[in-house]
């Protein structure tokens, strides 16, 4: 088995068809009189809904409506005041900016991946036998990354839709994704080539590998899948998700749960077909590309929707501690899943075989953990979003990009030195190597994050465009 590294829409009247049903059948005037008494019903009706369904501006429920009802529904759309879901339900405003719980989960994800890859090199056992399954299944940290991506990418769109304000523009979406992902990604490729970590048999192979990586399509062929840096396959999956997200959002904002369900069904069908045709041949290219993980992204998207929907509607100390208990149950469920997968480790391609039908359950566990934790008691949120995990979340991207590269370079340069033919036979070396590798990769990720990535993230696109316009030569005005 190959080791794995790792919104502005106003709401139209939702009681549009009800007026048509209850109005006396006396023509348009009767219906209009009935409408005048019902025009404030949408807010009251929305307040009774457990989670109002998103709707686009100007849309109305026309199911079963005849020609006469259509006129009335259009009148309602024109005359009923726009009532954002948040105002209609008296929900508390959803938090702007970063969510500490999500950052805490991101920190956990990168530590799981780091531990997994260092364990692959050092074979250092877990400190307690009961924890042995953790490093050996640490690749699920990548699944958690994908889940968090699904959450944070759709979160501002859902939040804006529920608040009835303008969604982020696609230009802004593209810029933020580019400035966050591409510069650090390209820098890591340049470093891998410069230090000799990436090897090319010929200049033609070098061009092929670099171009496919820059286009984020290197996961489509075995020859380029991990040819520069093995962990970069996940960036191709992320980029493919960003590319199709506008289409997914078009469906999701109209029918979130059916859209999420369709994504889960597609992933299950995809992986089962791959298992039936290509498990022992090209299975890697099927299982470890975006279609194979679309259900995990879907769980993240649905978690963001559920959080925005439930935030402010679930209030009180009892509800918060109930959510905390649910989050703990979610963690227990995740542990049970990982132990169940680890129990299959003697089977050929054990993790791949287990995930054919069970990868979705990992996404479900993340859904329960994240959604419940965001609604949980403040003490639980502070524990999950503690400063240490927030720090690892801050440096997580560069820690992920470089950790395997640096860890393998340390081994190839015998840092720390080992005297035996097989360093894995030296338990002291295993411990020392793990400590050194952790320290070096964390220090490097901190340096690149604060000296390179964060200054770029602080740049505003409008200022960049203004600076570019100042650099362009200006034509002199023609003489009068």
pLDDT band at 312 (very low <50, low <70, confident <90, very high): confident
| Residue that has been written with the tokens 């074979």 in this structure | 123
> Which tokens belong to 62?
């026309």
Do residues 229 and 194 make contact, with C-beta atoms less than 8 angstroms apart?
no
Q: Is pLDDT at 4 greater than 50 in this prediction?
A: no
Residue 313 to residue 333: CA distance in whole angstroms: 26
> Is the pLDDT assigned to residue 72 strictly greater than 60?
no
Quote the pLDDT of residue 479: 53
The yes-or-no verdict on residue 36 having pLDDT over 80 is no
Q: Is the model's pLDDT at 221 over the cut of 50? A: yes
Q: Which single residue is written with the structure tokens 């409408």?
A: 35
Q: Over 80: is that where the pLDDT of 232 sits?
A: yes
Helix/strand/coil (H/E/C) assignment for every residue in the chain: CCCCCCCCCCCCCCCHHHHHHHCCCCCHHHHHHHHHCCCCHHHHHHHCCCCCCCCCCCCCCCCCCCHHHHHHHHHHHHHCCCCCHHHHHCCCCCCCCCCHHHHHHHHHHHHHHHHHHHHHHHCCCCCCHHHCHHHHCCCHHHHHHHHHHHHHHHHHHHHHHHHCCCCCCHHHHHHHHHHHHHHHHHHHHHHHHHCCCCCCCCHHHHHHHHHHHHCCCHHHCHHHHCCCCHHHHHHHHHHHHHHHHHHHHHHHCCCHHHHHHHHHHHHHHHHHHHHHHHCCCCHHHHHCCHHHHHHHHHHHHHHHHHHHHHCCCCCCHHHHHHHHHHHHHHHHHHHHHHHHHHCCCCCCCHHHHHHHHHHHHHHHHHHHHHHHHHCCCHHHHHHHCCHHHHHHHHCHHHHHHHHHHHHHHHHHCCCCCCCCCCHHHCHHHHHHHHHHHHHHHHHHHHHHHHHHHHHHHCCCHHHHHHHHHHHCCCCCCCCC
Q: How large a percentage of the chain has pLDDT more than 90? A: 71
Predicted confidence band at 204 (pLDDT cuts at 50, 70, 90)?
A: very high
pLDDT of residue 175: 95
What is the average pLDDT across 118-133?
95
Report whether pLDDT(8) > 50: no
**Confidence band of 470 (pLDDT split at 50, 70, 90):** low
Q: Cα–Cα distance between 461 and 472 in angstroms, integer?
A: 17
Q: How confident is the model at residue 88 (pLDDT cuts 50, 70, 90)?
A: very low
Contact predicate 453/394, CB 8 Å: no
| pLDDT above 80 for 372 | yes
Of 337-341, 408-412, 444-448, 475-479, the least confident = 475-479
pLDDT at 76 over 80: no
Mean pLDDT score of the chain, rounded to an integer?
A: 83
**Residue 139 vs residues 113, 120, 335: alpha-carbon distances, Å:** 5, 11, 14
Expressed in angstroms, the distance from the first to the final Cα of the chain is 76
Q: Is the dihedral of CA 180, 185, 188, 194 positive or negative?
A: negative
């Amino acid at each position: 088995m190959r080791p794995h590294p790792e919104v502005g829409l106003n709401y139209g009247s939702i009681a549009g068809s009800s007026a048509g049903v209850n109005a006396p059948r006396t023509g348009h005037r009767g219906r209009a009189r009935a409408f005048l008494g019902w025009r404030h019903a949408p807010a009251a009706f929305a307040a009774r809904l457990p989670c109002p369904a998103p709707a686009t501006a100007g849309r109305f429920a026309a199911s079963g409506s005849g020609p006469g009802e259509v006129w009335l529904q259009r009148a309602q759309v024109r005359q009923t005041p726009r009532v954002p879901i948040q105002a209609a339900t008296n929900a508390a405003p959803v938090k702007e900016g970063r969510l500490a719980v999500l950052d805490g989960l991101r920190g956990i994800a990168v530590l799981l991946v780091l531990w997994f890859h260092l364990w692959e090199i050092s074979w250092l056992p877990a400190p307690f036998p009961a924890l042995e399954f953790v490093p050996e299944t640490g690749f699920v940290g990548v699944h958690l990354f994908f889940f968090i991506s699904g959450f944070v990418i759709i979160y501002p769109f859902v939040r804006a839709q529920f608040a009835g304000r303008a969604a982020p523009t696609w230009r802004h979406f593209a810029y933020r994704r580019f400035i966050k992902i591409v510069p650090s990604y390209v820098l890591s490729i340049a470093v891998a080539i410069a230090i000799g970590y990436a090897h090319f048999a010929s200049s033609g192979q070098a061009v092929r590998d670099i171009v496919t990586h820059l286009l984020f399509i290197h996961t489509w062929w075995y020859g380029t899948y991990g040819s520069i840096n093995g962990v970069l396959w996940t960036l191709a999956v992320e980029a493919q998700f960003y590319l199709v997200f506008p289409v997914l959002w078009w469906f999701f904002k109209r029918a979130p749960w059916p859209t999420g369900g369709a994504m889960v069904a597609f992933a299950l069908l995809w992986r089962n077909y791959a298992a039936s045709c290509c498990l022992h041949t090209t299975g890697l290219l099927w299982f470890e590309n975006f279609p194979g993980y679309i259900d995990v992204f879907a769980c993240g998207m649905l978690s963001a929707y559920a959080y925005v929907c439930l935030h402010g509607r679930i209030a009180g100390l009892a509800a918060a501690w109930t959510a905390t208990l649910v989050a703990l149950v979610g963690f227990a469920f995740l542990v049970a899943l990982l132990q169940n997968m680890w129990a299959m480790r003697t089977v050929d391609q054990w993790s791949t075989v287990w995930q054919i039908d069970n990868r979705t359950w990992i996404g479900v566990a993340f859904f329960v953990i994240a959604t419940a934790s965001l609604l949980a008691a403040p003490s639980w949120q502070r524990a999950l979003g503690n400063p240490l995990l927030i720090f690892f979340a801050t440096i997580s991207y560069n820690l992920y990009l470089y950790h395997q590269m640096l860890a393998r370079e340390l081994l190839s340069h015998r840092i720390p030195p080992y005297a035996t033919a097989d360093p894995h036979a030296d338990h002291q070396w295993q411990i020392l190597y793990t400590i050194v590798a952790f320290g070096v990769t964390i220090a490097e990720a901190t340096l690149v994050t604060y000296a390179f990535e964060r200054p770029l993230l602080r740049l505003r696109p409008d200022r960049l465009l203004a600076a570019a316009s100042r650099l362009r030569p200006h034509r002199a005005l023609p003489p009068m």
